[in-house]
Structures are given as structure tokens and as C-alpha cells.
Structure 1
Amino acid sequence: MKSYSNKLFILFFLLLSFSVSAQLTQGKRIEFERRTDIDEENLLIPMQENGVLLMQSKIEPFRRKFIIDFYKYDSTLTQIWRNSFVPEPELDLLKTFKNEHFFYVLFRKSDKIDIGVLRIDLETGDKTYVEGNLLTNMEIEHFVVLQSKAFIGGKFNDRPVVVMFSFFDKTSKVLPEVHSNNLVINELDVDEKGNFLYLMLKNDRNCQFILKKYSYEGKAISALALGDKQLTPISGEILNLDKDTEDQHPILMGNYAEGCSLFALGFYLKHLNDDSNIQYINFADLNHFFSFMNPKREEKIKLRIKQKKQKGKDIKLRYRLLLHDIIQTNDGWVMVAEVFYPEYKTTPSSTGWNNWRNYRIGNDVYNNFRYSHAIICGFDKNAKLIWDNSVSLKDIESSELNAKVQITLQDDYQILAYPDESLIRTVVIKGNEKVKNLENFDLKTNSETEKIVDTERTNLAAWYGHSFLAYGYQSVRKNNEILNNDVFYITKLTYNFKEENKN
């Protein structure tokens, strides 16, 4: 009894000794006035301490004018350069890709095999443009660039196809061992250090996940088939933990499901270039998978799972999961994923740039999504799960299926934030602990005389240090005027966080 009392006293002392001081502050805000008579889209690409790139496309009715403006800002949101590109009237903007030094934009002539690739130098803003063709009238779904070659993936006659397009001689080549029945391209990824292309495919008939590796010249090097009708990877990302070590094996990581289902049961990891077995991590085996719930409901579900395990029953929790890009740390990496539910579907849009409004999941097309919670897991450099946590997203809705939760790291703490209409919600965790519960922050305008009357498509992106970028569309009323101003805005948010000693 004395020992138990001592433990309570120590815990109470620690809670009194340390507190967390945290506050989200809004910095500089940039606004662009919107015209309601044109089709306008804005794409923001954060580049850590190197600033941020904004691509703004404007198409007038009947395509009388099509112009794309590129803006680069530094870490204080001060403009460094601006450049513009005017595509030919027949061109549709399809895909973009960024690496360390360049930003690429893929165009295609409507219903033709003609393509164009625009390259923007991220340092200077200089642009180059090359034209070529696809060899076939394929449906484009993926686009990556490796040095001076673009790899374009998609479908032709319901079969997968990948075209390699060279910027130097403007020639195209179809990659071998791809165009087969029952295969669907899951992802294209590049290894710039090794100069390789990774192609991930899903076999819908035998429920296998296939990883193919190609050389820079487009030659097939290796193929790895994973899964079966019991457990099958359904997504994948190549992770190189130590880019400075030659013998470091890359890791393939993603979600897995039962058979050919689209509902994930958990996560998997596979060390490439060796004979190790694939490692599966079931949602039901995570310690804090339900910590986003209220304590009573969490405890009730955990008890039910425990009782089923004691009876020898196989626990299967099925969710649609959106896996984020892996975040590397000094000790390993952090993985973030969001549980979402598609709510309704519409007819797919036929215009290239407007494809953001429709997302294909299997054979269905959706344009609205509800997010329930996010899962955060920490791994060491040996791919061992160290901790896990979960955060409620309060069933936020979005017309875009993209990553909502953004995360920045400070020492052993993880600062999470996500947008909810005109609000930014923040949570601070430390591994499997919650340090600061959900807090709300209202986005503001540049002046106290201005009022935000409507908000649309608010997005958030982790930037550098402990800062985020909030951006989207708003209607702003100035000085009690009758008419509102429609704007696209970008604003910097900084999370000031420190641990204080009360003694």
C-alpha cells in the first residue's frame, strides 16, 4: 500500500512540475482576388525552408484564354520570382511532379496522343517546354520524372501501360512486362539515388501486390509478388531510411487487406533486397487505435477485443485508409494515416484539370468524403513499431480526398493540425500520450475591419520548423460593404510550443 501511494505521489509531482505552454499564431497573409467568370485552380507546394511554390491556372469561358502563373515565396511569404506559361488552346493540364530542383507539369491534347512537359527551375523560375507523344491513346493516372525522363502510367484497353518519355530526343517507349490482363497500376515511385523506377501493380484476380523495378533505360530488373487471397498489400511506398549508406535496404510499407478487398486490416512492412518475411501489423494489435474515442467507449471496445482474443477468435477491423507520405526522423520514421468514408458519387468530369472533383476507388467514383480519425505510428530504424496513437477528426467533410492532418516534430513531441472549414484544430502528442487536447483556432483576415463570411476548401500543409500553411477560398466583407470579395488566400501559422518547469 505504501509503495502504491509513493507511485501516486511521484506521478502527482511530475504533473505539477511540468506544464505545456502552446499557442497557434497567425502570421503574414497573402490574398488573390478571384473572378467568378473563369475556371481557376490553385496548387500550393511547400518546400520547407526553401519557401513555397504556388501554381495558379486560369481558364476563361470557351478557352478563350488559358494562362498558368507560378509564384515562389520565401519562408516569410515574400515573393522571390514570378513566371507565366500560356499553353496551346487544345492542351489540358493533367498531372504535376516535384523533385528537389524542378517542378514538372504534364499537358495533353484533348483525345490525342500528343503531350507536353513544362519544367520550372525552383531556384530561378526559368522554364523549358518539350513536346512528344504517348504512342497510344491511354488514360493517364500517374506521372513521375527521373532525371531527364518522364514516366507516365495509366490504362489502355483496360490494361496497364507505362510510357517512358525522354526530354532529350523526344522519343517515347513502352515499358515491358506491364500490359497484362487483371493488373491495375497502384503507384509509380522513383529512387533518384539509385536511378531506378518502382512500379506497383495490383492483380485483381489472384489478389497479389506486385512490385517491379526498372532501370533508367526502361529495362525490367526484378519483380516481387506479395500477398495472397488471405492477406494482400493494397498500397505501397518505398522508404530509404539512410540515404548516405550504400548497403541500407529500402523498405516497402503500406496497408494490407483480406483478399481483394479495398478495406484495410492494418499495415505491412517488407525489407527489400533481402529474404525477410513481410511483417503485418493488425489494427486490433495497436495499443491506442481507439484513443480518439471517449474513455468509456474506448475501454468497452478494448474489452470486447480482449474477450474475443481469449476465445481464439481472429479480430478484423476494416477501414478505408488514406496513407500519407512517410516522415523520416533521426530515430526512424513517423507514419500518419486517416480513416475516411466516401459518401456519394457523381459522373466523372471529362476536363483534365477538374479531375480533382472526382476520385476513383475501385470501380466507383466519389466526390465527397468524411474523415473520422487519424492514426499516428512511430517506428525505429529497424522498422520496429515503438508507439501508436489516434486523434479524432470529428467527421470533417471534404470534396477532395487528400491528407488533412499535418504534422510537425519538436524533440519528442508531435504537433498535429487539420482544417475544419474556417477553423484550424490542433493536438499535441508525445508518442502514445496526449499532451494537449484538441484546441481550435479561427483564421483571420489582414484587418479588423474585414470579416470572413464564407469559407470553401480550406487546406493545411506542414511547412518548416513548427509552422504550417493554411490556404483556400474565402468571401471577405470589407468595411461593411454590401458586396463580398472572393479571394484565394495563403497564411502562415506558427505553433509556439515549450515545456515549462513550474518549480
Structure 2
Amino acid sequence: MKNHKFIVPLFLLILVFIQNIYTQNVTRIELNARMNEDTYKLIPCGKMGVVVFYCGTLLEDNNDYRKWHFALFNDKLEEVWINESDLIDKMEYFNYDLLADDLYLYFYDSGKNKPDQPEFQILKISLQGCKFSLVEGHLQERSVPTDFKVVDNKAIVGLKYKKYEVELCFIDLKDGTTHLAPIEIQSQNLISGIFPDTSGHLVYVVINNFIAKEQNAVYYATFTMDGIMTNMVEIKPVLDNKYLNTAEVVFYNNSLYILGNYSVYKNKIPEEGINAFAESAGFYISKFQNSKQEFINFYNFLEFENLYSSMNGRDIMKIRQKAEKQKKKRSEYSLNYDLLVHPVIMKNDQFILLAEAFYPEYRTVTDMYYDYYGRLMPQTYTVFDGYKYFNGIVASFDPEGNLVWENDIEIWNILTFDLDKYVHAYFADDDLVLFYYREGKINYKVIDQNDIEDADQINIETKYSKDKVIEEAGSNMICWYDHYFICYGYQEIRNNSIPNSKRTVFYVNKVAFQ
């Protein structure tokens, strides 16, 4: 294993010169912000740079439209261009897709648009020439998007209606015309992922099926780019008391592989407007050849030796005792982890699956009040404090479905109301780096099959040498291009050495790993 570490690139970004105060040798931008408002969105665009955008004010001459502001910064975080686009008011940004130098952003009706207004708008940005174009269209009824992909001149959107009816929508990016492809499976359904194949001629769609609001089955369906369904296949667990929660599709060596997490009992369908995740016992991997399932292998997290590194001895002993009792009952013990599962990474003919474990955290509050007779009485209730992240779990599988290795990274100080992916993976040669960013620090761990390097951390610099971060929110870190990464978020900073000593900013830092 080589000695890898994160570093701050020695590029100098001079934004402002103030007498006797100089910017540090960091690549960073700062935009004015408010601490309690998640104003800015950020999209990494490879070596083309990074796009930052936000929703602005209503147009003065037409209150049905709102101005959105966009800026492209290059790989040194220098401004390349600034532009604007007028979108329908109440449109909500959902997701993006990037094809070469073209960026596509999907906006949808959040439920507040006027009846005659479009239900979606897709904004295309040609990064090279700062060209903006917009297509929009109508759907049969109001829906919520669940996934968004672009293939050639078609956008494919997974749609969820009330009562968990779903459709796949194919949108012509030239004129906005739509073709709706219904997915007719009994009872309630959710589209959990859209996966264009490597040829660009077929689209694979994963559907979670529920009956009487309980897990029933997971299917994948194939569609042509004209929206015609050509196949529907159930991913069969084969074994009793195995229920598939998520499914990530990978195309490898003329075969279809599906990986995800599973439960040992049926989970409920999430209620409308409520974030609910199926409690998971472990990972699985399945292989299909010509639509025929060749195998499906399950791996309980209790089999992951490295997972115990984040537990104390007493917890390990209790878990193993409970697992032994379950074995005697001929049932499987589950850690019941709530997981956010990442797309599969391919490396050296192995499938790398990463997931983040979290749980909802509550605290008990007791207030005192006077009853009808004037007596002081206690009133106790629970308050939701957010989602507490505690572990990033990674496992590698070979094409035969064998578990090759597994590991984890312990997560500290992430308690948030935003369910997002905070742990990320990057390959430095043959070494896998797991990392996350919080409170101005990058926490990372370097792993290979035969050796494990202890977790470490590095501080991210601010703009001025005497800056002191008072508060931080919304921080995250993502892969950018090559061995470069972006740290971003909101900071309230104090520096008594400069005028306007207190500032609140949305910041973007460039860091490197070597």
C-alpha cells in the first residue's frame, strides 16, 4: 500500500486584496449566503469545472416566472461565465444528468402550478459555449419524479402518482413531446432506478412491488428508447425470509449483475411524504444471463469481520449471542440497519458496493405546565433531532458472486435533517479510499485487500489566515475529476483583522488526493 493523503492544491485564488491581509494558498470561492437557507446547488462537471446555481426573484413584468442564476467555474475555480434562465414559478429542481459538455436539469411541478402550466421543464446548458435551451411539456396528471436519465436526444423519467402507481416517461429533448410507458404490476409500485445499457438502445428499470403495503417482489423491466417494454423479470430471492430492498444494475461481460441490500422480514411501503427506509440485514449479488437468473448470494453483515471495529466489546458480545439464539430457531439475525446504497463501482473485475448506515435520533423533552386546579404538572414528549450517520460499509464481490473483502469507516458528527450521501469512495491505484467531510475536516481511510491504514483527517483551509469558523452547515464532499475533489457548504466566519469582520458564505474548496 502506498502512503496516500489529501492535500490542498497550491493554486492561489486571489478574490479580494485588503491591506495587510492576503488570501491563503487555497483554491476556494465564497458566495454571500444565509446560514439557515439552503440557497445554492452545486453540480460537478468533470474537467469542464463546476456549476453553481440558485433560484432568484419573480420577474417584475410576469409573476408567473422566476429567474434562476447560473455560473460556471473552471478547474481552478475561476469564473468562466454567468447566465440566467426564466423558469415557471413554483417549479422545483429534482436532478441532473451530464452528457459530454451538455448539462441537463429536470424541474417539475411541485403541486402549486396553475392548471394550464407545464408539469415539467428540462433546461439544457451547453457548458462550452454557455448556450441555454429549454423544453417543457404536460403530463396526464401531477406526479413526482423518482429518477432522471438522458440518452442521446431522449430524457427518461420515472414518475410516481398517488396510490403508488408508476410510469416511465420518455421525453423528446427537441420538442418536449412525451411518451408514457405504464408499468402494470398489481398493487403498489415504486421505480427505484433507471439504468441505460452500454449500447444506448435499451433502458433497464428496477421496480419495487408491494401488496397490501408490504414488500412482495423486485422486478427489472427493459424498454426500447421508443418506450416499448420488451421484458419483465423478477429478481427471485430463492431462499425463504429474504426480501430485497434496493437493486443497483451493472452490465459486465455480456451479463447483467444486480446488487443491493436485503431484509429478513417484510418491510412496509413508505407513507406519502415520510422518509422511510427498509431495515437491512446485509448485501446480496445476483447474476442474469439472457434474462435467466444464474445465482443470488446473500451476505449478512454479521459475516463482515471488519464491521466490528466500530463497536465496543460488549456490543459485539450481545450481537453474537442474539445471532446464536436466532440460529437455534432456524432464523437469521439482522442488525436492522437503515441504509443509503450507492451505485456499484467496478474495479479490477470486482463489484464494489458502498452503503451508509444511519438511524433517526430523538430526544425526550419535559415541560412543566399548570393544570385546571393550578397544580404544576410535567408533560413529556419526544423531539426528532435528525438522522444520525454512524458507519460507511463497503464490500467487494467477484463475478461468481463471492465476497472478496469488506471494510467500513466509522462516521462521526453527522446529524442532519437531510438524507443525503456523505461517505464517498475513490480508487488511488489499487487502494480504495473511503472519506467524508464534516465541520471543516476530511475524514478518510485507505484500504486494500491485504492491508488497512488507520483512519485520518485533514483540515480544510478558509480564505484568510485569521478566519475563525463560528458555525457550519450543509457541508459535503464529492469526487470531481481525476484525483481532485470538492468540499462545499455554508460557514459563518469571524475575522477581526478585516473590515466587516463577520461574514456568512457558501464556499467551495478544491482539494487533491495523492
Q: How would you bin the TM-score normalised by the shorter chain?
A: 0.7 to 0.9
Structure 2 SS opposite 1:314: coil
Say whether the 8 Å CA contact 1:265–1:319 is kept in structure 2.
Answer: yes
1:156 maps onto 2:172 in alignment: no
Shift of 1:276: 0.4
Letter of the 2:341 counterpart: L
Residue 270 of structure 1 is matched in structure 2 by 286
Residue 504 of structure 2 is matched in structure 1 by 486
Letter of the 1:447 counterpart: Y
Letter of the 1:220 counterpart: M
Say whether the 8 Å CA contact 2:27–2:76 is kept in structure 1.
Answer: no
Question: Structure 2 vs 1, CA of residues 298 and 46 (structure 1 numbering), >3 Å: closer, same or farther?
Answer: farther
Q: Deviations over 1:131-157 (max 9, x none)?
A: 211122223333222222222223323
Question: Structure 2 vs 1, CA of residues 450 and 325 (structure 1 numbering), >3 Å: closer, same or farther?
Answer: same
Letter of the 2:409 counterpart: V
Q: Deviations over 1:343-382 (max 9, x none)?
A: 369xxxxxxxxxxxxxxxxxxxx99311111111122344
1:54 maps onto 2:51 in alignment: yes
Question: Structure 2 vs 1, CA of residues 169 and 74 (structure 1 numbering), >3 Å: closer, same or farther?
Answer: closer
Question: Structure 2 vs 1, CA of residues 264 and 33 (structure 1 numbering), >3 Å: closer, same or farther?
Answer: same
Residue 187 of structure 1 is matched in structure 2 by 193
Q: Deviations over 1:264-322 (max 9, x none)?
A: 1111222233330322222222232222235x457636754785588575332221111
Question: Structure 2 vs 1, CA of residues 174 and 465 (structure 1 numbering), >3 Å: closer, same or farther?
Answer: closer
C-alpha distance in structure 2 between counterparts of 1:116 and 1:202, whole Å: 27
Structure 1 SS opposite 2:306: coil
Structure 1 SS opposite 2:337: coil
Greater shift in the superposed pair: 71-80 or 199-208: 71-80
Question: Structure 2 vs 1, CA of residues 266 and 306 (structure 1 numbering), >3 Å: closer, same or farther?
Answer: closer
Residue 241 of structure 1 is matched in structure 2 by 252
Question: Structure 2 vs 1, CA of residues 452 and 271 (structure 1 numbering), >3 Å: closer, same or farther?
Answer: same
Which of 239, 242, 251 is the equivalent residue of 1:231? Answer: 242
Shift of 1:473: 0.7
Structure 2 SS opposite 1:137: coil
Which of 364, 388, 397 is the equivalent residue of 1:370? Answer: 388
Structure 1 SS opposite 2:299: strand
Identity of matched residues, %: 22
Residue 499 of structure 1 is matched in structure 2 by none
Residue 24 of structure 1 is matched in structure 2 by 6
Residue 220 of structure 1 is matched in structure 2 by 229
Shift of 1:38: 11
1:44 maps onto 2:42 in alignment: yes
Question: How many residues matched?
Answer: 450
C-alpha distance in structure 2 between counterparts of 1:434 and 1:368, whole Å: 32
Structure 2 SS opposite 1:291: helix
C-alpha distance in structure 1 between counterparts of 2:160 and 2:195, whole Å: 17
Question: What's the TM-score, normalizing by structure 2?
Answer: 0.78
Say whether the 8 Å CA contact 2:35–2:504 is kept in structure 1.
Answer: no
C-alpha distance in structure 2 between counterparts of 1:76 and 1:161, whole Å: 42
1:175 maps onto 2:181 in alignment: yes
Question: Structure 2 vs 1, CA of residues 160 and 88 (structure 1 numbering), >3 Å: closer, same or farther?
Answer: closer
Say whether the 8 Å CA contact 1:30–1:490 is kept in structure 2.
Answer: yes
Residue 448 of structure 1 is matched in structure 2 by 465
The alignment yields a C-alpha RMSD, in angstroms, of 3.1
Letter of the 1:230 counterpart: N
Q: Deviations over 1:458-496 (max 9, x none)?
A: 111123344321111111223445652111111112233
1:127 maps onto 2:101 in alignment: no
Runs of 4+, deviation exceeding 6 Å: 61-65
Structure 2 SS opposite 1:290: helix
Structure 2 SS opposite 1:135: coil
C-alpha distance in structure 1 between counterparts of 2:261 and 2:167, whole Å: 24
Which segments of 5 or more consecutive residues in structure 1 lack a partner in the other structure? 1-18, 243-247, 346-365, 497-503
Shift of 1:400: 1.7
Shift of 1:199: 2.0
Shift of 1:325: 1.8
Shift of 1:67: 3.2
Say whether the 8 Å CA contact 1:51–1:77 is kept in structure 2.
Answer: no
1:477 maps onto 2:483 in alignment: no
Which of 383, 389, 398 is the equivalent residue of 1:380? Answer: 398
C-alpha distance in structure 2 between counterparts of 1:182 and 1:90, whole Å: 28
Say whether the 8 Å CA contact 1:151–1:165 is kept in structure 2.
Answer: yes
Residue 77 of structure 1 is matched in structure 2 by 77
Which of 118, 138, 146 is the equivalent residue of 1:141? Answer: 146
1:209 maps onto 2:215 in alignment: no
Q: Deviations over 1:425-444 (max 9, x none)?
A: 12222236421x23232222
C-alpha distance in structure 2 between counterparts of 1:319 and 1:38, whole Å: 30
Say whether the 8 Å CA contact 2:33–2:39 is kept in structure 1.
Answer: no
Which segments of 5 or more consecutive residues in structure 2 lack a partner in the other structure? 10-25, 268-277, 364-383
1:398 maps onto 2:416 in alignment: yes
C-alpha distance in structure 1 between counterparts of 2:83 and 2:295, whole Å: 50
Residue 426 of structure 2 is matched in structure 1 by 408
C-alpha distance in structure 1 between counterparts of 2:350 and 2:75, whole Å: 27
